[in-house]
Amino acid sequence: MSRKNRKVSSESLNISAAQKAYVRKHLLLKRKIRIYQYLLLIGFIAFWEISTHIGIVDPFIFSSPLRVMKTIAHMTIDGQLFYHIGITLLETLVSFALVNIVGLIIATLLWWNDSLSKVLEPYLIVLNSLPKSALAPVFIVWLGANMKTIIVAAVSVALFGSIITLYSDFKAVEEDKIKLIYTLGGKKKDVLFKVVLPSNIPSMISLMKVNIGLSLVGVIIGEFLAAKAGLGYLIIYGSQVFRLDWVIMSVVILCIVATGLYKILSYFEKRYTR
């Protein structure tokens, strides 16, 4: 092997060793962060349980991890828990789908027609800033106390912000790419399908991660007022009859559901970026 080839080989080995050291350090840091996260969670649960036994916290008002687990076990055996979780999940997924589909269609129409976007922009801003909980009683009067009202309330929470964000992202596409399509003889639909939509897929996925949380929040708001089942119904009913174990259990399950939905979308985002 010539001296030049030996030098190149040596540099490659050095780079490889440096890369391995960096990857090892990065994985070690991630492992430490995950351990700290678990320790923090375990410490919080342990402090919560112990504080109810020594009188720092009133277990009737704040419940306890053991009481929550007993409530979950009891409602699981009865079959009630999965029913209420299923109702909330169904309403959330339907609302989430409607928010993303309708938001994408309206944002595309606004991008396509500048006059329409200028006319509707102030109304979208007003509707986005309006407290959606104030609209829920109106939806009940219009639609009745049913699942339809809950879904409409959830959609109203996330829809207008989604439209504004998507429209802003569409308008922010590089002008040079758009000019290139027109220079090559393309039409506006070519710009839309070959430049605007493909270049905004990462931002649309990121927006979905926000919308899934907002949809869940909207569903719970709707269930507070118009539901006969669901986790929001368990929260409001449990507080009314002083079954606070139901309230805390429902809040814990909502945290788990929200985390799971977010992780699923994060998984698809990672798959796309790869």
Q: Are residues 44 and 68 in the same domain?
A: no
Q: Are residues 42 and 73 in the same domain?
A: no
DSSP-based three-state secondary structure for 34 = helix
Q: Are residues 17 and 112 in the same domain?
A: no
Q: Are residues 53 and 66 in the same domain?
A: no
User: pTM of the prediction?
Assistant: 0.82
Q: Are residues 130 and 238 in the same domain?
A: yes
Residue in 108, 149, 109 with CA at minimum distance from that of residue 132: 149
Q: Are residues 111 and 8 in the same domain?
A: no
Q: Are residues 191 and 268 in the same domain?
A: yes
- Look at phi and psi of residue 173 and say left if phi exceeds 0, alpha if psi is from -120 to 50, else beta: beta
Structurally, how many domains does the chain consist of? 2
| Tens of pLDDT, residue by residue, the chain (274 residues) | 455 455 444 444 456 777 777 778 888 888 889 899 899 999 999 998 898 888 887 888 888 889 889 989 988 888 888 999 999 999 999 999 999 999 999 999 999 998 888 898 888 888 888 877 777 778 887 887 788 888 998 898 889 999 999 999 998 888 888 888 888 888 888 888 888 888 888 889 889 999 999 999 989 988 888 778 889 899 998 888 888 889 999 999 999 999 999 999 888 888 877 7
Residues of the domain holding 18: 3-57
Q: CA 163 to CA 156: how far, in whole Å?
A: 11
Q: Are residues 180 and 250 in the same domain?
A: yes
Handedness of CA 96, 212, 227, 67 (dihedral sign): positive
Q: Are residues 204 and 236 in the same domain?
A: yes
Q: Are residues 97 and 205 in the same domain?
A: yes
Residue 103 belongs to what H/E stretch?
helix 80-112
